[in-house]
Structure 1
Amino acid sequence: MLAMADGNASSSGESALAVRFFNMDPVIIPFDPDALCESKEQRMWWAFLASSMVTFFGGLFIILLWRTFNYLWTVCCHCNPKNKDIQKFTNVVFSQADANSKNLEEKEELPVAEVGWMTSVKDWAGVMISAQTLTGRVLVVLVFALSIGALVIYFIDSSDPIESCQDFYKDFTLQIDMAFNVFFLLYFGLRFIAANDKLWFWLEVNSVVDFFTVPPVFVSVYLSRSWLGLRFLRALRLIQFSEILQFLNILKTSNSIKLVNLISIFISTWLTAAGFIHLVENSGDPWENFQNSQPLTYWECVYLLMVTMSTVGYGDVYAKTTLGRLFMVFFILGGLAMFASYVPEIIELIGNRKKYGGSYSAVSGRKHIVVCGHITLESVSNFLKDFLHKDRDDVNVEIVFLHNISPNLELEALFKRHFTQVEFYQGSVLNPHDLARVKIESADACLILTNKYCGDPDAEDASNIMRVISIKNYHPKIRIITQMLQYHNKAHLLNIPSWNWKEGDDAICLAELKLGFIAQSCLAPGLSTMLANLFSMRSYIKIEEDTWQKYYLEGVANEMYTEYLSGAFVGLSFPAVCELCYVKLKLLLIAIEYKSDKRESSILINPGNNVKIQEGTLGFFIASDAKEVKRAFFYCKACHDDITDPKRIKKCGCKRLEDEHPSALSPKKKQRNGGMRNSPNGSPKLMRHDPLLIPGNDQIEEMDANVKKYDSTGMFHWCLPKDIEKVILTRSEAAMTVLSGHVVVCIFGDSKSALVGLRNLVMPLRASNFHYHELKHIVFVGALEYLKREWETLHNFPKVTIVAGTPLSRADLRAVNINLCDMCVILSANQNNIDDTSLQDKECILASLNIKSMQFDDSIGVLQANSQGFTPPGMDRASPDNSPVHGIVRQTSITTGANIPIITELVNDSNVQFLDQDDDDDPDTELYLTQPFACGTAFAVSVLDSLMSATYFNDNILTLIRTLVTGGATPELEGLLAEENALRGGYSTPQTLANRDRCRVAQLALYDGPFADLGDGGCYGDLFCKALKTYNMLCFGIYRLRDAHMCTPSPCIKRYVITNPPYEFEMVPTDLIFCLMQFDHNAGQSRVSLSHSSHSSHSSSKKSSSVHSTLPSGNRPSRTKSREAPCNWKWFTDETENTTRNIQINQYKSTSSLIQPIREVEDEC
């Protein structure tokens, strides 16, 4: 019976145990007889939790007990806490008496004695965990990586039951987790030693994580049992993710740090809360004997927490336990607040991240340039239109724009249209990090655009100079091309140590070039339009109708290119090569890069017969396409001598073309740098002839060691500084002074206006390649308060007069005889002070319309002005039969202002429509297609934007343009102006006088003279060859009457520009020919004797005024008749049968180098 009872009891116990196991099946694995677990029938979760609680509260108790004991000891013993600390850590006690008795050396050794081993260990531990050293950073990153590894192990173990029996020696994940936690324990010890406040350290989040994750692992090994427990707290380590990224220098901006902080806090809180729900839901409530548990995977809990935070609450997964539901109540409050605040802020930070904040990835085999500065739709579109023009030979360059403001929709659309060659990045060149993003160190060049319409040009220039400084500071070798507004600000670039124009650095001064173009138009009307079209890329627009636009647009399609000359040209003179290129190759060669015996590179424009072509000479051509210019490089006399079609001139198989040219560059590099960098000093000098090649007798006769006639460089006429009071004329004084053949400059400005730099306008008109008597008198009409500010830069130039007044006053304009001037220039210094762009040019437009509407009384035009043109060098000026342009007497003065030659400066291109009321230009028409621009009567600074691209592809182009328009400004002269801001006079020496021997632009009249036979239906090519062979004059364009091709009773006297006409182009007698004229050494010796007028006494007191009287009869030209123009001819003169003879006769004359028939006698100093 007992045995049966025992057996029943045993059966009953086993069934009860089976029931217990059945009930606990969701939370603990079934009984395994092979598992070495103690108390298999009991749960041991409390042991794991107790280890963590005992560690936490035990340590907390010890810290508080130590603090209490330390406080009581200090209070009871009345000890100084500082001395107590010293005694505690160093065991060294010095009394006050002993300290006073120590000498100075012992006092200095006292701090060393106070450092004990505990302090050293604390400092070492602090360095190890502070990430200040490489070892510390490695340790911090390693701890974080191992924490993430422990979290991943938790994710793996979460698929197992909450509590299970595991053998440490067989469970690989438990071994890894044990190794991780041993490392965490050591790191915890370092942190504890380095902590200054042990109590706060004990309560830190990272410390709490260690308390509830490290001790349970050791308990698991001891009990051979695993409890998932609170290991999910390792997810809280994710909060330190942003700190780790900052240690690695990955996060540098505040927005990125804030974004990572928000994301890491949100994810760590989310994963931690999910771990707690997973624990309580799979375990059940303790007071329910764990009977109300439910099996949920960890990722289902993650899903539950997300739908709870977002207040969606689908109800498919929910908490069943009381602990779970109680936690969800409080988590909803905090989680909802966190979700509602963190998620929108995260989205906002992601949305506000710079769309263009990446980094440029260089493409192998492709160069890139960086464009910065003033980045707007207008500036970028103008730049891209010229830079990426189809006429350029395969532009394999990627353009990277860098600007601190994101582009608007229009600009963004423009970038997308050119996405294959254009990239945009948001940033500033003043930030080295942004410069690194765009790979400025590997960029081919950096181009800086300026705001041409800013109200404060000096501030804009200062900004661009700071950009240059920043870029050069980051990478001194980078080539920089920058735009500048004011000429005097160019001097600041010379202060940058790494700025080197010899290596390709260039500053394009808009004021210098703009006023230089306008000044050249005073000497040769229409030249500003021709030069602007030459360095701008324009597509050919074909017009079938026989209108003036047809011939104008044919010339517009021409651009300026450079190419190395073939070896077939070596040894030939420049005129011979120029003629061969024009006749056979259909190319216009205007200049070459010449290397002297000293191997110094010089740019010679139409140098004449004295210069022979050398091996590897670089030529400057005017052509319509880059492919056409290659004919000059491929030309071979043996293979191409009998070819008449220039298109068939291609690379041949001759040995001379197969051999690599010793000094020739590749086509890409040639176009990029123009060959100037191969010169020994890389110094591009101005066009000038060797002094040994210049006739010395004429030079010596002009030398006067006691008189300074020119500046120290010999490039400009110079005089002693004059007070402004000596050159000011009142209205009545100006009216008494008969001015003729002068230049009237109407300038708007006041005391607050920005300076336009009138020196840049005067310098080309005072170039030394003019003789003194050929200089046109300059009369400024404007506010005296403004002109006083400009006078400091003008007081060294001769023949300058100021009339205080306003250009809108007709009385002032009549006083300066505007109807007798050779050119009227209208400028304004107030254009950029108005926000409305359509009103920026209101003053210039009003002044232009005011002048054109003026009427002049013919009775006052008793003065007869000779319009005799220049005589080519070597011809006898006294012989009327040899003169290229015979004198035509101007019978009367101009009677209407519409016939006065005017050039108006504009800021806004669209305002050109208001200048001419009789044209039919559409407001949306591009500037170069409008009639005022084609006629040379309007000039806008926007046409200079093309110089950025032209300078990048060939840095010699800028030197050539500046040489043509500035009258001979050199880098040496800029250095002098930077020092003194004024020209310095110099004595005449053979070297300075040699600088006068340089070409200048002039206009050749065909109405009479040795070329008259070609003007009557002759070919332009015949004229080109005759002028080149006979007088070394290089023709490059025509200034033609607008209605010369029409047979109308009242033709318009307006002219337009035709650039580089073809050989067969038919000419008419009224054409004026643009040509490059050689310096005439003999012109200064054949000056006409002049007499004083009735106003001579007045002129003696006003030396700057031009007083005229009638020409003596002996000096009158012998030929005054003009050609008759039958009605059935295809050309017309300015004077027709139906118009009066008071039309402007100087349409027939050479407007560049006139010898005034009547002028005052004054010293040339």
Structure 2
Amino acid sequence: MANGGGGGGSSGGGGGGGGGSSLRMSSNIHANHLSLDASSSSSSSSSSSSSSSSSVHEPKMDALIIPVTMEVPCDSRGQRMWWAFLASSMVTFFGGLFIILLWRTLKYLWTVCCHCGGKTKEAQKINNGSSQADGTLKPVDEKEETVAAEVGWMTSVKDWAGVMISAQTLTGRVLVVLVFALSIGALVIYFIDSSNPIESCQNFYKDFTLQIDMAFNVFFLLYFGLRFIAANDKLWFWLEVNSVVDFFTVPPVFVSVYLNRSWLGLRFLRALRLIQFSEILQFLNILKTSNSIKLVNLLSIFISTWLTAAGFIHLVENSGDPWENFQNNQALTYWECVYLLMVTMSTVGYGDVYAKTTLGRLFMVFFILGGLAMFASYVPEIIELIGNRKKYGGSYSAVSGRKHIVVCGHITLESVSNFLKDFLHKDRDDVNVEIVFLHNISPNLELEALFKRHFTQVEFYQGSVLNPHDLARVKIESADACLILANKYCADPDAEDASNIMRVISIKNYHPKIRIITQMLQYHNKAHLLNIPSWNWKEGDDAICLAELKLGFIAQSCLAQGLSTMLANLFSMRSFIKIEEDTWQKYYLEGVSNEMYTEYLSSAFVGLSFPTVCELCFVKLKLLMIAIEYKSANRESRILINPGNHLKIQEGTLGFFIASDAKEVKRAFFYCKACHDDITDPKRIKKCGCKRPKMSIYKRMRRACCFDCGRSERDCSCMSGRVRGNMDTLERAFPLSSVSVNDCSTSFRAFEDEQPSTLSPKKKQRNGGMRNSPSSSPKLMRHDPLLIPGNDQIDNMDSNVKKYDSTGMFHWCAPKAIEKVILTRSEAAMTVLSGHVVVCIFGDVSSALIGLRNLVMPLRASNFHYHELKHIVFVGSIEYLKREWETLHNFPKVSILPGTPLSRADLRAVNINLCDMCVILSANQNNIDDTSLQDKECILASLNIKSMQFDDSIGVLQANSQGFTPPGMDRSSPDNSPVHGMLRQPSITTGVNIPIITELVNDTNVQFLDQDDDDDPDTELYLTQPFACGTAFAVSVLDSLMSATYFNDNILTLIRTLVTGGATPELEALIAEENALRGGYSTPQTLANRDRCRVAQLALLDGPFADLGDGGCYGDLFCKALKTYNMLCFGIYRLRDAHLSTPSQCTKRYVITNPPYEFELVPTDLIFCLMQFDHNAGQSRASLSHSSHSSQSSSKKSSSVHSIPSTANRPNRPKSRESRDKQNRKEMVYR
């Protein structure tokens, strides 16, 4: 036995089998010899004991002198058993293949042989069935039912197996994923065993990896059975790659258990399972895009082929060639083979590792052909797919405690920089909002650099909002809002609006509750947003129509020149630029730093009238409050601009302020009369620690009464004892209700009808100057005199004449044909137009419509009396104006002169030197690619007008300006004659002095409007002289409205109220139905809508404020105008060279927004003010004709500059300034 073991060792050394011996093999051989020696020593005598002992020492010597090499076999006879493992796989494969082919052959022969007999039996069965009608057919039916039952059973099993191996159900998906995971586990075990010899002895009960591999292969065998049962074509199933893998990996494991040895063999074929990796990822819903699926497919095929080929080289090189008796083997690790195949595929071939066996070299010949082709085709495609992967294709990770918004649409360097400049401005409160941009085109280098500069608050993702997957990536469901930017310079505005509407539909379809703020180019396209079911402007959804607001700003400049610049600066965030020199830029930039903010008013203002609170905020807090939010009894809110002294402030009233910083506006919320009454520095007004006691209703009324009367509470006797008793009774009845105060002289009966309001929670407020609201809501009781019309208003309620539209917000007339308003050049010259608005429009039959209705509507607002309406004359192509006329034919006093704005004859025919404003618009701006030429028509028209000269003799036709007269004053009295306060317009002899406002597309083109200014071409638009003077307007200034609307949704409502003349969501819905205004009869409700504030300019040259015009303080003017006429001043329109000591011939003016109290006035200043509606102004003009071509009315020049008539000739004029102010205050209280 010992000799046999030694012979085996020598035999193994000469044979050099495919596997070398390990230390574990040596120990096993040693243990076997020890066991044999023990048995012989127990059965023999002492003489045999020595021989047994020598036999024991002999194998020990063999174990010591034989080195541990691959040539040491684990078989005692030195035999290699690799053929047994390979034979098990080959027998299984070819045996099964033979059985399948044999079954198919027999089935085919049975079908051919029994075809005729089957037909005969079927015919006989049919004949028997037709001839017998009773029980003879029953045994046949039972047999058929049995066969059918058997077929159904087999089919159900097959279907069950098919469901189990498919990924259509959860069980199938789990099983498929589990099989793949176990295949990778078996491949890992192969990697571990590849460090051992190719063939080695392993005890199944002691080798842990063999046990795991056995368990895996038992599972693979069961899964193979399921696949075999579910297969429709058994032959093709037998030849599948996965089946071949199972044939050469599963049977050898069972042979290993039987022989107690392991052969590495073809287990590397498990790497072919990696080809299914992409399918597994698709089952798990990880791969969704075609590019990702293709990339994973290429990688899995490349890697699986690479690893499989490396396994074959590892097998043949470590085993050797069989015909060489395995003598030419070489020791290579598996990973060296992997390296060898990579350098072979890449045609590098360093030569440090190469194949020595004939089988290895033969395999390498064929592998080079296929591997090189695969490497040359797969690798470049893989690199291309990886390189084309979206750099910004990740998903947004929300940060706890931080909101985020999604910005999409037109994402360019210009639009993004303008948006970020305003959104992240330092004047806002700390903006704890992250901005996520989503666009389907990757950013260019400049835009990418901009994102990197704001990386802490800005992220960019590549995708489309039309794709729900991309919406999920940016977490649109948790976003605070979604902002959609429009391309203002596109050639087809309707197509751009359609794109943005589709974006809104996609976003709302994905998440209906998301708040959306979108830019729209055309006004008529806003109607399509109303068709979206989840679109709700009450929940914060807003559409910023650029055409509507742009033309609205320009229209307001026709009423008060320079107002467009002031409003644009108010709703844009501008940093303060300090200038030491005493120039016009110094005062202009001080006003530019002001913005619009909102804040809730302190309880210290409760019970006070709006003018009183406004004066207190301006004088004490250095804040300008221009409006408040009014909530009616049905909880509908609206914005009231300078509502007047009949309205009292209640708890939780939201105020609109003009200030330079959001922190300054907080003074209105922190103000406490007890703590801050004696503070003169407004910066010291901060939150105090005192508890503000709630005043009774009587004390609130008494305090408001005494404040208005100017007396102390002890001396004021307005509140009688009866009223006080009634207030106490009312307070006991409703201790928690907030009852409004009407007037100090109103009896208690006015309060008996008031119902306590149910306090509702405040709407959500955002950053940027807004604070969380107090616990109560404002309930402002407004007793509008128009709700109970007087005699003069009853006269206007003519049941047969429609003077206003159905909402009462605009003047209206019956539709007129365009032929009736067309003027020839001679007719226009004979009309002698004066005080009118000339609109120069460039456009043709193919131009995009700009929506002239938005320009006309503010000029036809119903808070103007009919005789105050300025005549509008359009000069342009009749083909273009015919397309616009459908939206204009319901407005009075509109005429058309066919021609061109570049024709001086046409301009002279419409008396452009006598107009109040000349507006230059173009509908052809976006049809030119060169940005510098987009405004060529408007610039040429502006320069053409400025170079014209006029004869002074036409000035005799000018009439006096129809200025504003305070309510209650008779216009026919001698005190109101032109001699006393009416401002005469100077005659214009040169076109430079004609008031012009020009619309521009490209901001840099503003340098061409004024040839005498020194503006740098790189200067921002708001810093240029034409913009500061109000003679140029660009739509780019409206970009800031996106961020302003997000932070405060009331801002957009305030803008619309100011510039559109009263457009409301209800009116937009009506226009969406009919595309035109509908006339309506005058009712108390519609006439009440006329009582709203409007913007005008007040002249200081003459009138009751003339004494303040020469060196007076702006604060004194503010208080006097507010107390006397309820007029709210908010800016100055000053001559450019007014600061110079020497007189200047320049007539240019610039805008000063919200000057401080001590700002010095000059006589030539024009004051921007918010005027109350004058109920009596229309009575003295009742005889005026409503004809738009009345020569009497058209010969009068209705200037936008309003003068207050002087009170110098009144018989009861007070002698001193103090007594005059006291008299004015008394008139205001009792009026």
- Same fold by TM-score greater than 0.5: yes
Q: 1:196 to 1:774 in 2, by over 3 A?
A: same
SS in 1 for 2:1169: strand
1:526–1:936: 8 Å Cα contact kept in structure 2?
yes
User: How far did 1:463 drift?
Assistant: 0.5
Distance in 2 between residues matched to 1:678 and 1:415, nearest whole Å: 32
1:606–1:1076: 8 Å Cα contact kept in structure 2?
yes
Q: 1:990 to 1:1113 in 2, by over 3 A?
A: closer
1:130–1:136: 8 Å Cα contact kept in structure 2?
yes
Q: 1:787 to 1:1091 in 2, by over 3 A?
A: closer
Q: Residue by residue, what CA displacement relative to the aligned partner does 1:239-259 show, whole Å, maximum 9, x if unpaired?
A: 000000000000000110111
2:1041–2:1052: 8 Å Cα contact kept in structure 1?
yes
Q: Residue by residue, what CA displacement relative to the aligned partner does 1:279-336 show, whole Å, maximum 9, x if unpaired?
A: 1111111111111111111112112222222222222222221111221222222222
Structure 2: 5+ residue stretches without partners: 1-39, 691-750, 1216-1224
Residue in 1 that maps onto 2:464? 428
User: How far did 1:639 drift?
Assistant: 0.4
Distance in 2 between residues matched to 1:452 and 1:503, nearest whole Å: 26
1:369–1:443: 8 Å Cα contact kept in structure 2?
yes
Distance in 2 between residues matched to 1:30 and 1:974, nearest whole Å: 98
Distance in 2 between residues matched to 1:1100 and 1:1006, nearest whole Å: 26
Q: Residue by residue, what CA displacement relative to the aligned partner does 1:209-237 show, whole Å, maximum 9, x if unpaired?
A: 01100111111111111111000000000
Q: 1:319 to 1:889 in 2, by over 3 A?
A: closer
Q: 1:880 to 1:529 in 2, by over 3 A?
A: farther
Distance in 2 between residues matched to 1:728 and 1:586, nearest whole Å: 52
Q: Residue by residue, what CA displacement relative to the aligned partner does 1:46-76 show, whole Å, maximum 9, x if unpaired?
A: 0100111111111122222222233333334
Residue in 2 that maps onto 1:994? 1088
SS in 2 for 1:733: helix
SS in 2 for 1:201: helix
1:125–1:193: 8 Å Cα contact kept in structure 2?
yes
2:761–2:775: 8 Å Cα contact kept in structure 1?
no
1:1091–1:1160: 8 Å Cα contact kept in structure 2?
no
SS in 1 for 2:1208: helix
Q: 1:892 to 1:448 in 2, by over 3 A?
A: closer
User: How far did 1:1095 drift?
Assistant: 9.6
Distance in 2 between residues matched to 1:106 and 1:621, nearest whole Å: 95
User: How far did 1:691 drift?
Assistant: 5.7
1:49 aligns with 2:115: no
* Higher alpha-carbon deviation: 201-210 or 335-344: 335-344
* Higher alpha-carbon deviation: 74-83 or 452-461: 74-83
Q: 1:681 to 1:929 in 2, by over 3 A?
A: same
Q: Residue by residue, what CA displacement relative to the aligned partner does 1:870-897 show, whole Å, maximum 9, x if unpaired?
A: 1122333334647899556758742211
User: How far did 1:346 drift?
Assistant: 1.2
1:712–1:987: 8 Å Cα contact kept in structure 2?
yes
Q: Residue by residue, what CA displacement relative to the aligned partner does 1:586-635 show, whole Å, maximum 9, x if unpaired?
A: 00000011223343322111011111001011100000000000000000
Distance in 2 between residues matched to 1:590 and 1:300, nearest whole Å: 83
Residue identity (%): 90
SS in 2 for 1:1114: coil
Distance in 2 between residues matched to 1:582 and 1:347, nearest whole Å: 67
1:854–1:897: 8 Å Cα contact kept in structure 2?
yes
SS in 2 for 1:575: helix
Distance in 1 between residues matched to 2:468 and 2:756, nearest whole Å: 40
Q: 1:684 to 1:976 in 2, by over 3 A?
A: farther
* Higher alpha-carbon deviation: 212-221 or 317-326: 317-326
Residue in 2 that maps onto 1:63? 100
2:73–2:200: 8 Å Cα contact kept in structure 1?
no
Q: 1:158 to 1:97 in 2, by over 3 A?
A: farther
Residue in 1 that maps onto 2:1112? 1018
Distance in 1 between residues matched to 2:1054 and 2:515, nearest whole Å: 19
SS in 2 for 1:160: coil
Q: 1:1117 to 1:208 in 2, by over 3 A?
A: farther
Distance in 2 between residues matched to 1:259 and 1:385, nearest whole Å: 41
1:726–1:1102: 8 Å Cα contact kept in structure 2?
no
Q: Residue by residue, what CA displacement relative to the aligned partner does 1:132-191 show, whole Å, maximum 9, x if unpaired?
A: 000100010000001001111111111111111111112111111111111111111111
1:839 aligns with 2:905: no
User: How far did 1:701 drift?
Assistant: 3.2
* Higher alpha-carbon deviation: 1010-1019 or 14-23: 14-23
User: How far did 1:864 drift?
Assistant: 2.6
1:871–1:883: 8 Å Cα contact kept in structure 2?
no
1:250 aligns with 2:283: no
1:574–1:608: 8 Å Cα contact kept in structure 2?
yes
User: How far did 1:699 drift?
Assistant: 2.7
User: How far did 1:23 drift?
Assistant: 19
1:885–1:1005: 8 Å Cα contact kept in structure 2?
no
1:869–1:885: 8 Å Cα contact kept in structure 2?
no
2:867–2:1184: 8 Å Cα contact kept in structure 1?
no
1:886–1:1119: 8 Å Cα contact kept in structure 2?
no
**Counterpart among 203, 228, 231 of residue 195 in structure 1:** 231
Q: 1:471 to 1:677 in 2, by over 3 A?
A: farther
Q: State the superposition RMSD in angstroms.
A: 6.5
Q: Residue by residue, what CA displacement relative to the aligned partner does 1:543-579 show, whole Å, maximum 9, x if unpaired?
A: 1111100000000000000001000000000000000
* Higher alpha-carbon deviation: 764-773 or 328-337: 328-337
* Higher alpha-carbon deviation: 243-252 or 1042-1051: 1042-1051
Q: 1:405 to 1:106 in 2, by over 3 A?
A: farther
User: How far did 1:1031 drift?
Assistant: 0.3
Q: Residue by residue, what CA displacement relative to the aligned partner does 1:1045-1088 show, whole Å, maximum 9, x if unpaired?
A: 11334331000000000000000000000000000000011228
Distance in 1 between residues matched to 2:856 and 2:1226, nearest whole Å: 20
Distance in 2 between residues matched to 1:148 and 1:27, nearest whole Å: 40
Q: Residue by residue, what CA displacement relative to the aligned partner does 1:1104-1154 show, whole Å, maximum 9, x if unpaired?
A: 999999999999999999xxxxxxxxxxxxxxxxxxxxxxxxxxxxxxxxx
Distance in 2 between residues matched to 1:85 and 1:902, nearest whole Å: 103
- Map residues 330-341 of structure 1 onto 2, 5 A cutoff: 330-341=366-377
SS in 1 for 2:45: helix
Structure 1: 5+ residue stretches without partners: 1122-1158
Distance in 2 between residues matched to 1:1109 and 1:1091, nearest whole Å: 25
1:601–1:676: 8 Å Cα contact kept in structure 2?
no
User: How far did 1:238 drift?
Assistant: 0.3
Q: 1:508 to 1:738 in 2, by over 3 A?
A: same
Larger radius of gyration: 2
**Counterpart among 434, 446, 449 of residue 398 in structure 1:** 434
Distance in 2 between residues matched to 1:584 and 1:430, nearest whole Å: 53
User: How far did 1:199 drift?
Assistant: 1.6
Distance in 2 between residues matched to 1:618 and 1:681, nearest whole Å: 13
Distance in 1 between residues matched to 2:71 and 2:263, nearest whole Å: 19
Q: 1:1112 to 1:80 in 2, by over 3 A?
A: farther
Distance in 2 between residues matched to 1:499 and 1:1058, nearest whole Å: 39
2:922–2:938: 8 Å Cα contact kept in structure 1?
yes
1:382 aligns with 2:418: yes
Distance in 2 between residues matched to 1:1110 and 1:872, nearest whole Å: 7
Distance in 1 between residues matched to 2:784 and 2:1189, nearest whole Å: 45
Q: 1:578 to 1:667 in 2, by over 3 A?
A: farther
- Map residues 808-887 of structure 1 onto 2, 5 A cutoff: 808-879=902-973, 881=975, 886=980
* Higher alpha-carbon deviation: 188-197 or 790-799: 188-197
Q: 1:916 to 1:617 in 2, by over 3 A?
A: same
Count of equivalent residues: 1121
SS in 2 for 1:12: helix
1:80 aligns with 2:80: no
Q: 1:1085 to 1:888 in 2, by over 3 A?
A: closer
Q: 1:571 to 1:14 in 2, by over 3 A?
A: farther
Q: Residue by residue, what CA displacement relative to the aligned partner does 1:657-706 show, whole Å, maximum 9, x if unpaired?
A: 99999999999986528999999999999999746777644432322122
Q: 1:263 to 1:300 in 2, by over 3 A?
A: same
Q: 1:592 to 1:982 in 2, by over 3 A?
A: same
1:679 aligns with 2:773: yes
User: How far did 1:454 drift?
Assistant: 0.6
Distance in 2 between residues matched to 1:727 and 1:404, nearest whole Å: 49
Q: 1:127 to 1:317 in 2, by over 3 A?
A: same
1:1042 aligns with 2:1042: no
Q: 1:143 to 1:1061 in 2, by over 3 A?
A: same
